[in-house]
Amino acid sequence: MRHGKIIAALSAAALALAGLAGCGSGEPTTPSTDAPVDGPSGQLEIFSWWTAGSEANGLEALVGVLGEKYPNIEFVNNGAATGGGSGKDVLQTRMAGGQPPDSFQVHAGAEAQDYITAGQLQDVSNLYDEFGLNNAFPQDLVDLLTKDGKIYTIPSNVHRSNVIWADVKALEKAGLSTTDAYYDSMESFIAALETAKAAGFEAPLSMGMTWTQVHLLETVLMADLTPVQYNGLFDGTTDWTGAEVKKALEDFGKLMSYTNADRDSLDWEEALAIALDQKAVFNVMGDWVPGALDARNLVDGTDYLWAPSPGTDGVYGFLADSFGLTTGGPNPDAGKAWLDVISSADGQTAFNKVKGSIPARTDIDLSSFSDYQQSASKSFKNDVIVGSIQHGAAATIAQGNAVNAAVSKFTTSPMAEANLATLQAELAAAFA
Ligand code: GAL
């Protein structure tokens, strides 16, 4: 019910996001094992920020499938060292200088449209025919990768941004029970942070560098604005200078005051580790977190708990990764092989099992995936979908950069009322 009502009120771009999960077709299939083919050889160079920890493990699983099917390709990831797409300016500099890799990681939505408009991606619609992908993905997801009827990238996975993770031992230390009630609203969550603080946690909400702060901010916007208002931030129908955004920024400022002072030097996995080491209680981060939890052999429900981030129950903060072929990349045959593997049921199964995301393909049987992933897949189908800002679904690259600059300025100066007003004005300017 909720889904239908919301769709009616959304803009065209937001509509594509809102309808995302509903359009998968195919029946579940068991992935087939592809036999090696002689295929292309030489180096395949990609750009991805899956370079550390659990994300590197996910990429490695995918590269394993590549090696089985295309044994003559030498895989190289000359990617960014930091997560969340925060290092993609390196890629842009390279492409502007005429030195593109063969393929690169790109978020579905506004970010993909930027690269398409810049002429940096090739039309790969023919590969959808060749690899049999025309019914493999939700049509609304493919629409986010399409311009003027041509499809430019192939999605590998779908992630949810608005998730909170809590360490069970830390909850106990903080005198907090394992109830989900803290997450009902921003107010109840802030009360829980106060309780943890009184119990000796100096910074109960663990936090990392600027992009993770922007990530937190988008989840607070999702909490304090209705989905229609949130989606309206990107098509001009919601005023960034309005009272709802002001309240969200105040809440963001309050949450930041419960975070660790060394945050700007930490990427997401290091920030998460603070909670897992019981030096904080909570971490708000996308669902690439399960990959890191699995790598530590931590058990869902015993060692950690998760829930939609405070105030966002029923809302799914959407983002998806995809890959395409660059214009002028050195080894297009190898690039094509990469897209074959990424889009295959084998590739999507191997990768997503490690990464924590759900496959972008709708024909993969999830029964051997984790409970978290099965539940995320249900939420993707049933919740109201809104697009991530940090992860390029709703915001263009320029808008994302401007948001990062404004948030960094705010969180590195004493977070006073006056600075909140500046933050709001700068965010409004970013989307003007
Ligand atoms: C996102 C990306 C995810 C994950 C995350 C953390 O931008 O879409 O797949 O890599 O960053 O680095």
* Helices 243-256, 210-224: crossing angle, 10 deg rounding: 130
Residues whose beta carbon lies within 6 Å of some atom of ligand 1: 49-50, 55, 83-85, 107, 159, 268, 286, 288, 319, 321, 391
Task: Assess if residue 382 is contained within a domain.
Answer: no
pLDDT of residue 28 exceeding 60, the answer is no
For ligand 1, atom 2, name the residue with the nearest CA: 84
Given ligand 1 and candidates 288, 352, 389, 403, which is best to mutate, with the most ligand atoms within 8 Å of its CB? 288
Residue, of 9 and 50, whose pLDDT is higher: 50
Distance 205 CA to ligand 1 centre (A): 20
Domain with residue 361: its CATH number is: 3.40.190.10
Is residue 376 in a domain?
Answer: no
| Protein residue whose Cα sits closest to atom 4 of ligand 1 | 84
- The verdict on 174 and 198 lying in the same domain is yes
Q: For residue 89, is it within any domain?
A: yes
The region that residue 85 occupies, defined by phi over 0 for left and psi between -120 and 50 for alpha, beta otherwise, is left
Query: How far away, in angstroms, is 83 Cα from ligand 1 center?
Result: 6
Kindly state the average pLDDT of the residues 231-259.
98
Q: Is residue 77 part of a domain?
A: yes
pLDDT band at 11 (very low <50, low <70, confident <90, very high): very low
Look over the chain and give the mean of its residue pLDDT values, rounded to a whole number.
92
189 and 214 both lie in a single domain: yes
Residue 5 maps to a domain: no
Residues 122 and 264 in one domain: no
Q: Are residues 181 and 201 in the same domain?
A: yes
Whether the Cβ atoms of residue 79 and residue 49 lie closer than 8 Å to each other: yes
Q: Which amino acid residue places its CA nearest to atom 11 of ligand 1?
A: 84
Please indicate, yes or no, whether residues 69 and 190 belong to a single structural domain of this protein.
no
What pTM, to 2 d.p., does this model score?
0.93
Least confident of 37-46, 73-82, 297-306, 384-393: 37-46
SS (H, E, C) 61-92: HHHHHHHHHCCCEEEEECCCCCCCCCCCHHHH
Q: Whose CA is nearest to atom 8 of ligand 1?
A: 321
* C-alpha 269 – ligand 1 centre gap (Å): 11
What separation in Å is there between the alpha carbon of 50 and the centre of ligand 1? Answer: 7
pLDDT band at 287 (very low <50, low <70, confident <90, very high): very high
Do 253 and 118 share a domain, yes or no? no
Indicate whether 379 belongs to any domain.
no
* CA torsion, ordered 355, 359, 360, 361, to nearest 10 deg: 150
Position in ligand 1 atom list of the atom nearest CA 286: 5
Q: Does 6 map to a domain?
A: no
Say yes or no: 212 and 262 in one domain. yes
Query: 16 falls in which pLDDT band (50, 70, 90)?
Result: low
The count of domains in the chain is 2
Q: Whose CA is nearest to atom 7 of ligand 1?
A: 84
- Atom number of ligand 1 nearest to Cα 319: 8
Whether the per-residue pLDDT at 320 is higher than 70: the answer is: yes
Name the 3-class secondary structure at 160. Answer: strand
Report the pLDDT averaged over residues 166-188: 95
Residues 413 and 325 in one domain: no
Rounded to the nearest angstrom, the distance between the alpha carbon of 422 and the centre of ligand 1 is 28
Closest ligand 1 atom to Cα of 392: 7
Q: What is the pLDDT of residue 364?
A: 97
Rounded to whole angstroms, how far apart are CA atoms 132 and 164? 37
Q: What percent of the chain has pLDDT over 90?
A: 89
5 pLDDT higher than 70:
no
Q: Which of 46, 51, 55 to mutate to test the pocket of ligand 1 (most atoms within 8 A of CB)?
A: 55
Q: What is the pLDDT of residue 107?
A: 98
Q: Give the closest residue to 411 by CA, choosing from 397, 426, 430, 396.
A: 426
Backbone angles phi, psi at 154, to 5 degrees: -120, 125
What confidence tier does 38 reach under pLDDT thresholds 50, 70, 90? Answer: confident
Asked if the model's pLDDT at residue 146 lies above 80, the reply is yes
> Could you tell me if 106 and 216 lie in one domain?
no
Cα of 320 from ligand 1 centre, angstroms:
9
Range of the domain at 275: 163-317+388-430
Residue 264 and residue 301 in one domain: yes
Residue 362 lies in a domain: yes
Give the separation between CA 245 and CA 230, rounded to whole angstroms: 9
Is the pLDDT assigned to residue 15 strictly greater than 90? no
Mutate to test the pocket of ligand 1, among 47, 54, 77, 159 (most ligand atoms within 8 A of CB): 159
Is the pLDDT confidence value at 144 over 50? yes
Q: What's the pLDDT score for residue 236? A: 96
Q: Read off φ and ψ for residue 427, nearest 5 degrees.
A: -65, -40
Is 148 found in the same domain as 221? Answer: no
Per-residue pLDDT, averaged over 130-155, amounts to: 98
Q: Where do runs of H (alpha helix) occur along 296-370? A: 332-343, 345-355
My answer on whether 64 and 146 are in the same domain is: yes
